[in-house]
């Protein structure tokens, strides 16, 4: 079993179907005794440049532990799935469980906005 980090850029029109997409890949991974160490839905984000005439994409980050055979099958699935605009697969040396910097920044921003709103109400 190897550790992988996968980033998926999904067509923005499929944002409503993200739960189904996540469930599909979860089933594929867990059916072969694979493990999901981290799964983060980063939401819709603007792209640095247009891809297939799109300005935004829905981002997913998945850290998994699977065998090479399943990873090849997943990579093939990503390639031929029209809803996936781009994918990035990285081999890791160990499992990554902690929150990604992308989510940490978003959570910190929400906390700051909440504390500002709370302070303005108290004054």
The answer as to CATH 3.90.1410.10 being correct for domain 2-97 is: no
* Dist. CA 83–CA 43, nearest whole Å: 15
Spell out the domain ranges in the chain: 2-97
Residue closest to 10 by CA, chosen among 72, 78, 97 = 78
Residue closest to 8 by CA, chosen among 23, 24, 27, 22 = 22
Q: How far is CA 123 from the centre of its chain?
A: 40
Model confidence at 96, pLDDT cuts 50, 70, 90, reads: confident
Average pLDDT over residues 77-100: 92
Write down the pLDDT at residue 103. 74
Per residue in 18-39, pLDDT (tens digit) is 999 999 999 999 999 999 999 9
* Residue 116: pLDDT over 80: no
Is the pTM here over 0.85, yes or no?
A: no
């Amino acid at each position: 079993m190897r550790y992988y980090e996968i980033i998926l850029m999904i067509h923005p029109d499929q944002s409503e179907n993200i739960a189904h997409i996540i469930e599909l890949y979860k089933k594929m991974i867990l059916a072969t005794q694979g493990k999901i160490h981290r799964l983060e839905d980063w939401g819709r984000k603007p792209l640095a440049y247009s891809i297939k005439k799109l300005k935004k994409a829905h981002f997913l980050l998945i850290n998994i532990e699977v065998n090479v055979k399943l990873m090849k099958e997943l990579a093939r699935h990503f390639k031929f799935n029209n809803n996936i605009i781009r994918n990035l697969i990285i081999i890791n040396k160990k499992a990554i469980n902690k929150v990604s910097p992308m989510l940490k920044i978003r959570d910190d921003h929400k906390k700051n906005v909440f504390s500002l709103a709370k302070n303005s109400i108290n004054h």
